[in-house]
Structure 1
Amino acid sequence: MTAVTLKDVAVRAGVSIKTVSNVVRGVPQVSDATRERVTRAVRELGYRPNPSARRLRTGRSGLIALAVPDLVTPYFAELAQHVRAEAVELGLTVLIEETMGDATEELRLATGVGAALLDGVILSPLHASLDELAPVADRFPLVLLGERSYERDQVAADHVLIDNIAAAREATAHLAGLGRRRIAAIGVKAHSGATSRQRLEGFQRALHEAGLTYDPRLVPLVELFDRHNGLLAMRALMALPPDVRPDAVFCFSDLLAAGALRALYEAGLDIPGQVAVASIDGSEEALYSTPSLTSVVPDKAAIAAMAVRSLAARIRSEEPLPFEVHLAPHRLVVRESTDGVRRPLP
């Protein structure tokens, strides 16, 4: 049986082959009526795109991967939505992979899961080092997300990130500006990565600028940035002597803050009257928690746009491009967990 072609679909729908290609690739600049007509023709004829033919024709498959630690964390789930939307704008299809923070899996996916299929990869690594990833970036289109500590003249791959030190500093300064004097931090790991280290540095800077002393008793260690670790850490803080117990907490993620809020609720403490809570991530969880959570909101749409466009440029360039670091904006959104002002959801 002869395979159905783009030309066959175009004839049935009464449009150009280019229009059919745009509809199949999800390019948005097509009217709803035309898209419906083409989609109906595709369904009636049983057309199936042939990625191998595209690869032979253009040298590219149009398929990229987004590899993140997990999709349970709201931040990564929301980021994935933005990456997919940006990719569609550029006529790309996104394969989403979970690495579960395993260095071996991160390195495997960074190589393109077999570069014969993927054109490039956007990777948010937790444990694979830059030394391990640099050789990959030299020979395969790769964009990194998340924090790494290195000088700009030592950039070994395209990188998109926010200024974590500044973000943590702003959140902590907000708490200090409310008159809180025993500010705790939840999110320091025993074997901390760059994200944890940078957010701790921002926290310490804000304390110093506010004339407050860093107290390691107010910085319980966590294993993961999840709700359960936030719960346990907050319970440990509440078990401290009254003269040490915190009157404010900065959590290194919204999930940690969710656990901390639960522990404060269990203890019958008023938020923010007795303990103010701020965080960083800007997930929808922060908006819908009770009370709503003051959080530093990274511009996830900008992060996705920078990452996808950087990857697309590297894929389409005939010549090697210099590696770049792209800094995405962030902002502090004040909500009920620090100012106590009840706000109806929009």
Structure 2
Amino acid sequence: MTRDPAVAGTVTLADVARAAGVSVATASFVLSGRGGSRSAGSAATKAKVREAAAELGYVPNRHAQAMRTGRGGGIVLTLGTLDDPWAVQLTSQVRDDALAHDLSTLVLADERWFEYLVGASADGAFVTSIDFVDGGVERMRRLAAATQTGLVAFSAVMEPESFDVVSSTPVLAIHRAYARLRERHDRVQMLAPDLGHRAGGTFANARARAFLDAARETGDGPAEQLVHVVPGGSHDTYLAAVEWLSGPDRPEAVVCHTGYQAVALRLAAARVGISVPEDLEFISIGDVPANSEFFGPISYYGVDDVFARLSSIIIGRATDREDRPGVLHSFDWEFFPGTTTRDHE
């Protein structure tokens, strides 16, 4: 019989265990985010425990659970934005994979990851903006010392400590993208977001710096004038790209700072009536999810099977935190030709 919701708060873990015909320890494993453990029993046992919990209206006290087990039942992705298709695709992958381990997926859409995670009871966290915020490296170390969360740092400058590090720098890829387009065009430009909210702004960003270096090494410039800075966000980038492509200084070859900008540029080209790749070639730095490619695949430099690989690392760290030393995961970038460059022809 379903418990009256008015008294659902009186339901205990022991009540659930009794209704499911299992021990309190087994019920605890299943309902505390540790369902992937063999101690949680078979799939049928887990199903019985969850059904009993739903029938009785049992709601676990996550705070008490975290204090007791060190596990809060969730993975936090500190992505800083929801505007990038890359971030959305990663979130979808982790969500699907984490559910098999009874873990929920939460997204932090700002860069206050230290302040949030130091007081959270997350099982795992993927921290992405370490290299781009003031004191990011030191904050990561302080966070690792202050929490039991299984941490994965996305950084080109850190080494593993008590946390894993994913090193995936696009610097060489940007140089190669510049050279690839420069073979066919006298002028190659970068479409970059306004990063005025970050230390040093757009030109201090590693991707912009790599582009400037590539232009200078080729003897092109002034290099800073080759970077077309637009407001951040997909919609504002699209509007700015329409204006750019409609103006007298319309580009012929563009390296896009990130995937969402490449999508916006492709839509803007269709709106203005510019033929791609005949009159405009461009390359994305970073994967562009297929469901964002409305006019065929976009040429990009990225990491093969990146979302599944990242998800596996993040969930692995969340589910296995017992005195495990940090591991360095190095991701190499390669070129994937699409319909926005002439390579596919």
What's the TM-score, normalizing by structure 2?
0.73
Measured at CA, do residues 107 and 268 of structure 1 come closer, stay the same or move farther in structure 2, by a change above 3 Å? same
Partner of 2:174: 168
Q: Distance in 2 between matches of 1:145 and 1:47?
A: 35
- 51-60 or 331-340: bigger deviation: 51-60
SS at match of 1:187: strand
Q: Distance in 1 between matches of 2:284 and 2:292?
A: 12
Q: RMSD over aligned Cα, in angstroms?
A: 4.0
The letter for the 2-side match of 1:218 is L
Which residue of the other structure, out of 273, 276, 279, is the alignment partner of 2:278? 273
Q: Tell me, yes or no, if structure 1 residue 124 matches structure 2 residue 128.
A: yes
Q: Tell me, yes or no, if structure 1 residue 79 matches structure 2 residue 96.
A: no
Q: Tell me, yes or no, if structure 1 residue 65 matches structure 2 residue 69.
A: no
| Cα shift at 1:247 | 2.2
1:84-119, Cα deviation, whole Å (9 max, x unpaired): 3454455544433321x4xxx3331142xx24x445
The letter for the 1-side match of 2:244 is A
The letter for the 2-side match of 1:251 is C
The letter for the 1-side match of 2:260 is L
| Cα shift at 1:250 | 1.1
1:38-58, Cα deviation, whole Å (9 max, x unpaired): 433222222222435534543
Measured at CA, do residues 227 and 183 of structure 1 come closer, stay the same or move farther in structure 2, by a change above 3 Å? farther
Partner of 1:186: 191
Q: Distance in 2 between matches of 1:262 and 1:276?
A: 13
Measured at CA, do residues 80 and 193 of structure 1 come closer, stay the same or move farther in structure 2, by a change above 3 Å? farther
1:311-338, Cα deviation, whole Å (9 max, x unpaired): 555x533x9x5x6553334443221111
The letter for the 2-side match of 1:97 is L
The letter for the 2-side match of 1:235 is E
Kept in 2: contact 1:168–1:203 (CA 8 A): yes
The letter for the 1-side match of 2:127 is L
The letter for the 2-side match of 1:124 is T
Kept in 1: contact 2:202–2:208 (CA 8 A): no
1:170-227, Cα deviation, whole Å (9 max, x unpaired): 43344345x3342211116465569973323444565678x57345333222342534
Measured at CA, do residues 197 and 97 of structure 1 come closer, stay the same or move farther in structure 2, by a change above 3 Å? closer
| Cα shift at 1:273 | 0.6
| Cα shift at 1:151 | 6.6
Which residue of the other structure, out of 88, 112, 116, is the alignment partner of 1:109? 116
Partner of 2:269: 264
Correspondences of 1:18-33 after superposition (within 5 Å): 20-21=27-28, 23-24=30-31, 25=33, 27=35
Partner of 1:226: 234
- Unaligned 5+ residue runs, structure 1? none
SS at match of 2:251: coil
The letter for the 2-side match of 1:232 is A
| Cα shift at 1:274 | 0.8
- 13-22 or 219-228: bigger deviation: 13-22
SS at match of 1:109: helix
- 266-275 or 304-313: bigger deviation: 304-313
Measured at CA, do residues 31 and 224 of structure 1 come closer, stay the same or move farther in structure 2, by a change above 3 Å? same
SS at match of 2:205: helix
Q: Distance in 2 between matches of 1:172 and 1:108?
A: 38
| Cα shift at 1:294 | 1.5
- 179-188 or 53-62: bigger deviation: 53-62
1:6-52, Cα deviation, whole Å (9 max, x unpaired): 55444434556566455533746887655544433222222222435
SS at match of 2:274: coil
Q: Distance in 2 between matches of 1:265 and 1:303?
A: 33
Q: Distance in 2 between matches of 1:118 and 1:156?
A: 16
Q: Distance in 2 between matches of 1:76 and 1:263?
A: 22
Q: Distance in 1 between matches of 2:195 and 2:173?
A: 22
Report how many residues are paired: 324
The letter for the 2-side match of 1:77 is V
| Cα shift at 1:287 | 5.1
Partner of 1:294: 299
| Cα shift at 1:264 | 2.3
Kept in 1: contact 2:195–2:202 (CA 8 A): no
Q: Distance in 2 between matches of 1:306 and 1:256?
A: 27
1:118-150, Cα deviation, whole Å (9 max, x unpaired): 4554333353432551433333347465455x4
Partner of 1:326: 329
- Unaligned 5+ residue runs, structure 2? 1-6
Q: Distance in 1 between matches of 2:102 and 2:170?
A: 32
Q: Percent identity?
A: 24
| Cα shift at 1:278 | 1.4
Q: Distance in 2 between matches of 1:268 and 1:175?
A: 21
